[in-house]
Amino acid sequence: MDSYIDWHAARAALEWQLEMGVAETISETPINRFEQVAPPPKAGVAPGVSAPTMPVQAAPKVDPVAEAEAAARAATDLSGLQAAMAAYPHCELQKGARNLVFCDGVPGARVMIVGEAPGRDEDRIGKPFVGRAGQLLDKMLAAIDLGRDRDGEQAVYITNVLPWRPPQNRDPKPDEMAMMLPFLKRHIALAKPEVLVVMGNISCQALLGKRGITRLRGKWDEVDGLPVIPMFHPAYLLRNPSAKCEAWADLLDLNERLTKKD
Ligand code: URA
């Protein structure tokens, strides 16, 4: 179809827009106004004299991942890390979330579980895995004598790849995962687990750089020298109960590693 619009029609359309109160043109690409530089002050210019044109100063380039790495590195304990995450300004998810969901369970536990991101219940309460998937996770852990409310050898510690709920529970975006990964890695280093359990594709992607949980599950891997077992996410098990037998096999495998005397 010919999209040509003649001069008169274009002018009429423009005038109509002005009448409707349109004050500026907007391009098809979004503009981040937070990154825009304020115009140079006009002070000191005599009336009638045009101000010298000032060179537009480019906004300093921000590298969200490098900033996350520096902030995470500077945290020397878990509460410092939580504060650093709360102060981190580059993840848009924070703006739409009610709570920063940091952890539950016992720091220093032998087992650390890494889920994906908070859902509605977690966002409301401020703790990971408190909804239906969390209740199933608790049952799975109890089946091998572990729990977030247990002490000593039976304790577990729980966190997520992302501390803020994505809108409508959508999958985390690659840039959101990349900028929050340094915090997750520091979280693991400070919590000092013996074993990591990564639940679902998003967690595998973040920590192992791999997707395909059906293929990855139950196969021990390694992250920064720590043994890692990928498992099906409990939310997946709620939707696919027949996969519970594989999850059970993985739990037994985890239990064997934890109880093995060397
Ligand atoms: N699913 C997750 O991966 N984490 C939670 O905290 C809740 C649901």
- The per-residue pLDDT for range 23-71, each reduced to its tens digit, is 666 666 666 666 766 655 555 556 666 666 777 788 888 999 999 999 9
Q: pTM for the complete prediction?
A: 0.79
Q: Where are the domains of the chain?
A: 64-259
Amino acid identity for residue 87 in this structure = A
Cα of 149 vs its chain's centroid, Å: 25
Pick the atom of ligand 1 nearest to 200's CA: 3
Instruction: Give 206-240 pLDDT, tens digit per residue.
Output: 999 999 999 999 999 999 999 999 999 999 999 99
Amino acid identity for residue 9 in this structure = A
Task: Give the Å distance between the CA of 151 and the centre of ligand 1.
Answer: 22
Task: Give the Å distance between the CA of 159 and the centre of ligand 1.
Answer: 8
List 204's β-bridge partners, or say none. none
Give me the residue label for tokens 């247990």.
150
Is 122 a pocket residue for ligand 1 (Cβ < 6 Å)? yes
Is 234 a pocket residue for ligand 1 (Cβ < 6 Å)? no
Task: Give the Å distance between the CA of 153 and the centre of ligand 1.
Answer: 23
Contact criterion met (CB below 8 Å) for 199 and 236: no
List 231's β-bridge partners, or say none. 199
What is the full DSSP assignment across the chain?
A: ------HHHHHHHHHHHHHTT--S---SS---GGGSPPPPP-TTPPTTSPPPPPPPPPPPPP-HHHHHHHHHHH--SHHHHHHHHHH----THHHH-S-----EE-TT-SEEEEES---HHHHHHTSSS-SHHHHHHHHHHHHTT-BTT--GGGBEEEEES-SSPPGGGPPPPHHHHHHHHHHHHHHHHHH--SEEEEESHHHHHHHHS---HHHHTT--EEETTEEEEEE--HHHHHH-GGGHHHHHHHHHHHHHHHH---
Is 116 a pocket residue for ligand 1 (Cβ < 6 Å)? yes
User: pLDDT at position 1, please?
Assistant: 45
Q: Which CATH superfamily is domain 64-259 in?
A: Uracil-DNA glycosylase-like domain (3.40.470.10)
Query: What is the C-alpha separation between 238 and 245, in angstroms, rounded?
Result: 13
Pick the atom of ligand 1 nearest to 161's CA: 3
Residue 122 has pLDDT above 90, yes or no: yes
If you take atom 7 of ligand 1, which residue's CA is the nearest one? 129
Q: Looking at per-residue confidence, does 27 or 78 come out higher? A: 78
Query: What is the C-alpha separation between 239 and 35, in angstroms, rounded?
Result: 42
Task: Give the Å distance between the CA of 164 and the centre of ligand 1.
Answer: 10
Is 130 a pocket residue for ligand 1 (Cβ < 6 Å)? no
Average pLDDT (8-33) is 69
Picking from 150, 137, 211, 223, the residue whose alpha carbon sits closest to that of residue 186 is 223
- Please enumerate, as own/partner, the contacts of 63-67 that have beta carbons within 8 Å and a separation of 24 or more: 64/90, 64/91, 64/175, 64/178, 64/179, 65/178, 65/179, 65/181, 65/182
User: pLDDT at position 18, please?
Assistant: 72
| CA angle in degrees (0–180, nearest 5) for 172-175-179 | 100
Contact criterion met (CB below 8 Å) for 113 and 158: yes
Q: What average pLDDT does the structure give for the chain?
A: 90
Is 138 a pocket residue for ligand 1 (Cβ < 6 Å)? no
